[in-house]
Amino acid sequence: MPTLKSIEVSISRTLEKVLDIEQLLKEKFRVEPHAIVEKTPDPGTSSNTTTIRNVVCSFCGCLCDDLEVIISGNKIVRVRNACTLGASKIVHSSENRIFHPYIRTEKGLKEVSLEKAIKEAANILASSKYPLLYGWSNTSVEAMRVGLELAEYLGGVIDNTSTLCHGPSTLAVQEVGMVSSTLGQIRNYADLIVYWGCNPFNAHPRHPSRYSAFARGIYIKTRRERKIIVVDVRETDTSRIADTFLKIEPNKDYELASALRMIVRGYDIEYRKVAGIDVDKIYELADLMMSAKFGAIFYGLGVTMTSGKSRNIEELIKLVQDLNEWTKFVILPMRGHYNVTGANQSKLWITGYPYAVDFRRGYPRYFPGMTSTIDLLNNEEVDAALIVASDPIPHFPAKATSHLVKIPKITLDPKWSVTAMVSEVIIPTSIVGVECSGTAYRMDKVPLRTKKLIDPPRGVLSDEEVLRMLLKEVKALIR
Say whether pTM exceeds 0.85. yes
Which pLDDT belongs to residue 59? 95
Residue 373, classified by CB atoms within 10 Å of its CB into exposed (0-12), middle (13-18) or buried (19+), is: buried
Q: How many CA atoms lie within 13 A of 150 on its CB side?
A: 31
Which pLDDT belongs to residue 21? 77
Which pLDDT belongs to residue 2? 56
Q: Which option is the CATH number for 98-164+339-477: 3.40.50.740, 3.50.50.60, 3.90.110.10, 3.10.129.10? A: 3.40.50.740
Which pLDDT belongs to residue 361? 95
Q: Are strands 157-160 and 131-135 parallel, antiparallel or unpaired?
A: parallel
In Å, how far are 74, 150, 241, 436 from 91, measured between CA atoms?
12, 33, 30, 15
Domain edges within the chain: 49-91, 98-164+339-477, 167-333
* Cα–Cα dist 434/91, whole Å: 9
Pick from 179, 242, 167, 254: nearest CA to 212: 242
Distance of CA 225 to the CA centre of its chain: 32
First-to-final CA distance of the chain: 36
Pick from 371, 346, 310, 347: nearest CA to 174: 310
* Cα–Cα dist 197/303, whole Å: 5
Which pLDDT belongs to residue 461? 97
Give one DSSP letter per residue of 277-331, joined into a string.
Answer: EEHHHHHHHHHHHHH-SEEEEEE-HHHHTSTTTHHHHHHHHHHHHHHTTTSEEEE
241 phi/psi in degrees, rounded to 5: -100, 5
Which pLDDT belongs to residue 79? 96
Chunked in runs of 10, what are the mean pLDDT values of the chain (479 residues)? Answer: 67 82 78 73 73 96 96 93 95 93 91 97 97 97 97 97 92 95 96 96 95 94 94 95 94 95 94 93 95 96 91 96 96 96 95 96 95 96 97 92 95 95 96 96 97 95 97 92
200: enclosing H helix or E strand: helix 200-203
* Cα–Cα dist 73/50, whole Å: 8
Which pLDDT belongs to residue 134? 98
* Cα–Cα dist 31/35, whole Å: 13
Which pLDDT belongs to residue 46? 65
Pick from 238, 475, 203, 223: nearest CA to 340: 203
Extract the runs of DSSP E, i.e. beta strands, from 13-114. 49-55, 67-72, 75-80, 102-105, 108-111
Q: What fold does the segment set 167-333 form as a domain? A: Dimethylsulfoxide Reductase; domain 2 (3.40.228)
